[in-house]
Amino acid sequence: MKKQLPVFLTFICAFLLTVQYFVPHRSFEQIYEVSNIWLQIIGVFSIFLGITSLVTMHVRKIRHRQRQWQYSFITLGGLFAMVAAGLIPALEQRGSYEWLYDHILNPISATMFSLLAFFIASAAFRAFRARSAIATILLLAAVFVMLGRVPLGDRMSHGLFPAIADWLLNVPNVAAKRAILIGVGLGEASMALRVMLGIERSYMAGE
Amino acid sequence: MRGFLAKVSQLDRRVIFLLMAVAVIIPLLFPAKLSVKVTPESKKVFDLVESLQPGDLFLLDMDYGPDTMAELEPMTYAIMRHAHRRGARLICMCLAATGVSLIESEIRTVAEERGMEYGRDYGYLGYRPYPAAVILSMGQDIRQSFPIDYYGTRLDSLPIFRNVKNYRDFKFVLSVNATSGVDAWIMYGKERYNFPLAIGVTAVMAADYYNYLQSGQIVGILGGLKGAAEYETLLGEGERATIWMNIQSICHLLIVVLIIIGNIAFMAGKKDQS
Amino acid sequence: MALSVDPGVWLAAFLTLCIFSFLYKDNLFYRIAEHLVVGVSAGYWLVILIRQTLVPYFVIPLFRERNWNVIPGPLGLFLLVIAAFLGILIFTRFSTRYSWLARIPIAIIWGIGAGFVIPLSLQTKVIRQLQASIIDLKTVGTWDGFNSLLVVIGVLSGLTYFFFSKAHKGAVGSVAKVGIWTLMIGFGATFGFTAMARISLLIGRMDFLLRDWLGIIK
């Protein structure tokens, strides 16, 4: 029961939804419509589960005085402040929720990703080496794309760098990404088939 | 010379960080405005919006948050201003959780600037999780996933939504996207329901979608800040992305110089070893 | 333009500098900002989910209208309650005795996902991409035709490189070598674009500091 029921349900759902793609009958259409919404509803609860796990993890960290436990207060404080600002009508009407979003969430997450610009520059200097023929090809393609996509590169080369960059993007890049995409497509379909047939059961936590 | 190159190869990474910061700050203080070359893939997106007639309706999906706002916000502004100039109506939505409020404020900014009326000229559906499921259900009826709009109003009580059932009622779908949701738009949207789809993506993602462009599965691509600058050029208004592209030029040049110096130092070191 | 007097802008600038301080070295301010964003993001998402999913999916159909627009009538409401019940079952993961029940909703999600993927993935990523690789005979002898031929060679050699059931020796090895060259150009293009993307984000933050906070630029 504990193992067979989930495998059976997976098979039924996957089978019906694969078949409905080829059978334009109203009953299959209804199964399809309900499945779409079920997927979203069950999915929402799994996100709630994730947030609950985050809270319990930080509470445990504080309770057991684990490494850097003091920071957990900040995480939990931020979480509850945001929830209060969004759900307590008096705070919400004052625009507290949007204020926290604009002045805390927005600047931190935007800056975190911008840090990568510095690390890319550093990596370009330290690790981007023409050690072999294929590394040189990669390096040249990157340089031409970088110079070919900015106005200065266009001016410097009288339009040559943009022309090379466009060709690289539209011909070899298309071929490379297409080869990868075809592999991904076949891989996805075969993995989905394995799930449907109960061969792939990682969602059962190892059983 | 050898000693100098050896020293260069040992350069503290914080010096490189500083160079990068200077390469951004100086041109920001003294902005230049070199013209941006328009690529065919961006022109196709512009032409798609340009083809709209007064009253035509299109779906503008905006799936990004503050982390990629700098790249995609100029694009969104340019597209919305263009749509308004064509007299077209648009329905917006967001499938990225951290972007819901950001998108709402961006839409409101352009609407206030151009005097667009909510519910008549534009609408905002808001957010739902699981892009693939949302995109699939919208192909049947947008009310299945969005019975109410972002503000909690029933769709049928607003004129812009009244005669809209699914993708067939939009001229096209334009997805400005920083997530894997763009794959969902192609796979579950375009391939399942067959509507014209154009995309605006971050530069990181752009190279991965040229094969969809070549296969005709998407109409055009706006790639990152460059795509936004090209759109601004075609539109003849807005200049943020265009000015930023010139800063980008200096930074790219710096990275290329760093690559060259790094390689010279590497080769000199290799020669010494051999 | 002048220095901002908005406390919100000052807070945002302070947090921006907290994150940038990591470039010097890992420090207390960076960690505070890092932990804060995790909590605030989770809280933001929770509120958005309540407003944007619980209300339209449950509150309106079950309590306000007593009708679900996807399947009207009692059957629809029943299916909605079942979905909610399955969702709640996910929380049994916290119980040692009943945690197996959480597999049921997860199995359904996996099944539905797999059912959607099989036909559409093959159509989008395999069939349509193969169709696009067919050379248009009208372009033979032209620059476009030459490029189309290069794409076909690149795709076939790239696929050969990923084919590990045969040793990459002899003719297969040579074709695979062309494949890896093609792939490297693709990765190089991606690197070029990645640098571009990250720099754009940095420009955005610097613009905020110099314009919105310090008021140095107009």
Closest CB from C24, C49, C120 relative to B191: C120
Q: Specify whether the CB–CB gap between C103 and A8 falls below 8 A.
A: no
At residue B93, the 3 state secondary structure works out as strand
Name the CA radius of gyration of chain C, rounded: 28
Q: According to the model, what pLDDT value does residue C190 have?
A: 93
Residue indicated by tokens 């605030």: C40
**Which A positions 56-95 lie with beta carbon below 8 A of chain B?**
none
pLDDT given at position A84: 96
Mean pLDDT over B61-68 rounds to 96
| B172, B160 contact by CB (below 8 A) | no
Contact C87, A44 (CB under 8 A): yes
Q: What is the pLDDT along chain A (207 residues), one digit of tens a residue?
A: 778 899 999 999 999 999 998 888 888 888 998 998 999 899 899 999 999 999 999 999 999 999 889 999 999 999 999 999 999 999 888 899 999 999 999 999 999 999 999 999 999 998 888 889 999 999 999 999 999 999 999 999 999 999 999 999 999 999 999 999 999 999 999 999 999 999 988 877 655
| pLDDT score, position A205 | 66
More confident residue, C139 or B200: B200
Query: Each residue of C22-64: pLDDT tens digit?
Result: 999 999 999 999 999 999 999 999 999 999 988 888 888 988 8
The region, left, alpha or beta by phi > 0 then psi within -120 to 50, assigned to residue B260 is: alpha
- Quote the distance between the C-alpha of residue A23 and its chain's center: 32
> Is the distance from CB of B92 to CB of B119 less than 8 angstroms?
no
Query: Residue C179: closest CA among chain A residues belongs to which residue?
Result: A176
Q: How far apart are CA B208 and CA A177, in angstroms?
A: 6
Q: Which of residues 207-266 of B touch C (CB under 8 A)?
A: 207-208, 211, 214-217, 223-226, 244, 247-248, 251-252, 255
Q: What is the mean pLDDT of chain B?
A: 93
| Range of weakest confidence among B130-144, B160-174, C163-177 | C163-177
Residue A27's CB is within 10 A of a number of other CB atoms, namely 9
Q: CA angle at residue A171 from A169 to A175, to 5 degrees?
A: 100
Q: Does A158 touch chain C (CB under 8 A)?
A: no
Among C47, C90, C159, whose Cβ lies nearest the Cβ of A46? C90
Q: Which of A78-92, B112-126, B185-199, C47-61 has the lowest mean pLDDT?
A: C47-61
Question: Residue C163 pLDDT > 90, yes or no?
Answer: no
Separation between Cα atoms, residue A92 and residue A115, nearest integer Å? 32
Percent with pLDDT over 90 in chain C? 76
Structure tokens at B243: 């000015």
Scanning A104-123 for CB atoms below 8 A from B yields 105-107, 109-110, 112-114, 117-118, 120-122
Contact A108 C19 (CB under 8 A): yes
- Domain locations along chain A: 128-198
d(CA C18, CA C29): 5
What span, in angstroms and rounded, lies between the C-alpha atoms of A193 and A138?
36
Among B residues 172-191, those touching chain A with beta carbons less than 8 Å apart: none
State how far Cα C27 lies from the chain centre: 30
What pLDDT, on a 0 to 100 scale, did the predictor assign at position B132? Answer: 93
At B57, give phi and psi (nearest 5°). Answer: -120, 135
Q: What is the pLDDT of residue C1?
A: 67
Do C108 and C86 touch, CB atoms closer than 8 A?
Answer: yes
Residues listed for chain A: 207
B198 pLDDT tier (thresholds 50, 70, 90): very high
Q: Which sequence spans correspond to the domains of chain B?
A: 2-31+247-273, 40-238
Question: Is the pLDDT confidence value at B8 over 90?
Answer: no
A to B CB pairs, distance under 8 Å: 151
Quickly tell me which residue has 């890992």 as its tokens: C26
In this prediction, residue B274 carries a pLDDT of 72
**Average of per-residue pLDDT across B56-67:** 96
Pairwise CA distance, residues C153 & C149, whole Å? 6
- For chain B, the maximum distance between any two Cα atoms, rounded to a whole number of angstroms, is 79
Is the pTM higher than 0.90?
A: yes
Q: Quick check: B271 pLDDT over 90?
A: no
Task: Summarize the confidence of residues C14-27 as an average pLDDT.
Answer: 96
Q: Is C149 on the interface with A (CB under 8 A)?
A: no
Picking from C108, C203, C212, C218 by the largest number of B CB atoms within 10 A of its own CB, the best residue to mutate is C203
Task: Let me know: does A15 contact B97? Beta carbons within 8 Å.
Answer: no
**Residue B237 confidence (pLDDT):** 84
Q: Amino acid identity, residue B256?
A: V
- Residue entry with tokens 């809209």: B164
Contacts 24+ apart (CB under 8 A), C164-172: none
Chain C segment 7-36 residues within 8 A of A by beta carbon are: 8-9, 11-13, 15-16, 18-20, 22-23, 31-36
Write out pLDDT tens, residues B204-242: 999 999 999 999 999 999 999 999 999 999 999 878 899
Give the pair of three-digit tokens for residue A87. Answer: 């759900």
Instruction: State whether CATH 3.40.50.720 applies to domain B40-238.
Output: yes
Q: Does A143 touch chain B (CB under 8 A)?
A: yes
- pLDDT at B21 exceeding the cut of 60: yes
Contact A147 B256 (CB under 8 A): yes
**Which amino acid type is present at position C127?**
I
Summarised one tens digit per residue, pLDDT across range A31-58 is 998 998 999 899 899 999 999 999 999 9
| Residue B44 confidence (pLDDT) | 97
Domain layout of chain C by residue ranges: 137-218
Q: State residue C58's pLDDT score.
A: 86
Q: How far apart are the C-alpha atoms of A71 and A58, rounded to whole Å?
A: 9
Q: Name the strand (E) or helix (H) holding B200.
A: strand B197-201
Of B34-38, B74-78, C194-198, the range with the highest mean pLDDT is: B74-78
* Residue B246 token pair: 């010139």
